Amino acid sequence: MWPAPQVTGQLRWTQRVPGSKSMTNRALVLAALADGPSQLIGALCSRDTDLMAAALSGLGAKIRGSEQYTGSDSTTLSVEPGQLHGGTVDCGLAGTVMRFVPPVAATTPAGCHIVFDGDAQARRRPMREILQALRALGVAVDGAGLPCTVHGGGARGGKVTIDASGSSQFVSGLLLSAPRFTEGIQVHHQGPQLPSVPHIDMTVSMLRAAGADVKVAADGHTWRVAPGKLQGRTWVIEPDLSNAAPFLAAAAVSGGTVLVVGWPRSTDQPGDRMREILAAMGAQVRFVRSDDPDHDQDLSVTGPEAGTLTGIDINMRDIGELAPTVSALAALATTPSRLTGIAHLRGHETDRLKALSCELTGLGGNCVETPDGLEIEPAALHGGVWHSYADHRMATAGAILGLRVGGVFVEDIQTTAKTLPGFQLMWQAMVDGTARG
């Protein structure tokens, strides 16, 4: 149990966050499939990215870091493609490994067998759709989820229709390896509304940067990647904006100011939407010139007077990963909030809608789960145990609440190492640094 630190004054803090997990893991896949070496500058080192690097290394890529990871800094990774072969892949609880690496495994030669498994909770995460898609594209696959086995030698490719309403990673996983399929791949989404479209946009942008020929239909539901070579290149990984979100939220709930260093001018990261969310809830959000020579601009957020945040009514279909952070803000707001479009969060690291409703209620909150989201009413919160469910974003949501509510204990704060190792040290430093100031 981690006692979440409470802050009584206004935070004043400058925070650096390491590289984007989404960009790092996409760049690792593209680098492993490229026709020459690549370098990832500012790559995130976390459990999810370590699992991705280990998976691709186990299949034949050579990946090494230029410096030892020290907890909160990003690192530089060098990737040398190699002849892919069979092996065993530990997915942990990483959705990107579960959904991105099986198509890579499909491009191995005939006779290769790649076995996938992961954490107990990973076995309950949706995966059937991408395995069925691989079968439709000529790949032999045993199983409908974890554990499963992908057999090499069948990466024919072609057209496939899938229901990706459960996870945009089904689309991204197929697209990333598509240039290595004999016929390339055309993916068409057919089903309920597609979630997390910015992540697919990121996949398309990065494929094009690596030299792939990618066409997106006007309806935004069909993607075609032609067969061809991927170029080795240097990838500069942006700071992870979703990991920055809790620190910006800290400014909002304390009435203080937090500066995040190196906020990109243009990005496909869903975390960029925190700017408009915080502004809508009453915070002042602005870009400032960065004092860091490696960056053009930083993002500054100043919260309203403590205790005067307003609620928000927002469709979060494209930005579901921000829902735990926004839920914590909503629970501390003075007016009701309604978060919609996030039914797909039931298939994330945990059922996030059920978990958020349960944990907020457990601290005295008024949170009701709806078919596609949450409704949160103002209520007097009290201390207690906040369970993380082995979900990194649940853990950081508990930390946000603890800033304003005394006696909050977050169970398994170490689960934040999934995407942000050392989170609790950064969080404590923010509180302690403000107190010293």
Task: Kindly report the backbone phi and psi dihedral angles of residue 31, in degrees, each rounded to the nearest multiple of 5, phi listed first.
Answer: -70, -40
Q: Hey, what are 1's tokens?
A: 């149990």
- The response to whether 229 counts as a known ligand-binding position is no
**Cβ distance 155 to 161 under 8 Å?**
no
Active site residue 305: no
Selection from 178, 182, 181, 185 nearest residue 207 by Cα: 178
**Cβ distance 237 to 23 under 8 Å?**
yes
- The response to whether 387 counts as a known ligand-binding position is no
- The response to whether 393 counts as a known ligand-binding position is yes
Give the CA dihedral 20, 44, 234, 198, nearest 10 degrees.
-20
Name the active-site residue from 321, 349, 359, 375.
321
Give the CA dihedral 80, 86, 90, 91, nearest 10 degrees.
80
- The response to whether 418 counts as a known ligand-binding position is yes
- Distance CA(138)–CA(193), nearest Å, equals 27
- The response to whether 26 counts as a known ligand-binding position is yes
- The response to whether 168 counts as a known ligand-binding position is yes
C-alpha to C-alpha distances, 404 to 87, 143, 274, 395, nearest whole angstrom = 48, 47, 20, 15
**Cβ distance 163 to 190 under 8 Å?**
yes
- Distance CA(128)–CA(98), nearest Å, equals 11
- The response to whether 196 counts as a known ligand-binding position is yes
- The response to whether 242 counts as a known ligand-binding position is no
Beta bridge partners of residue 38, listed in sequence order = 79
List the catalytic residues: 321
Annotated binding residues: 21-22, 26, 95, 125, 167-169, 196, 321, 348, 352, 393, 418
Annotated binding residues for phosphoenolpyruvate: 21, 95, 125, 169, 352, 393, 418
Annotated binding residues for 3-phosphoshikimate: 21-22, 26, 167-169, 196, 321, 348
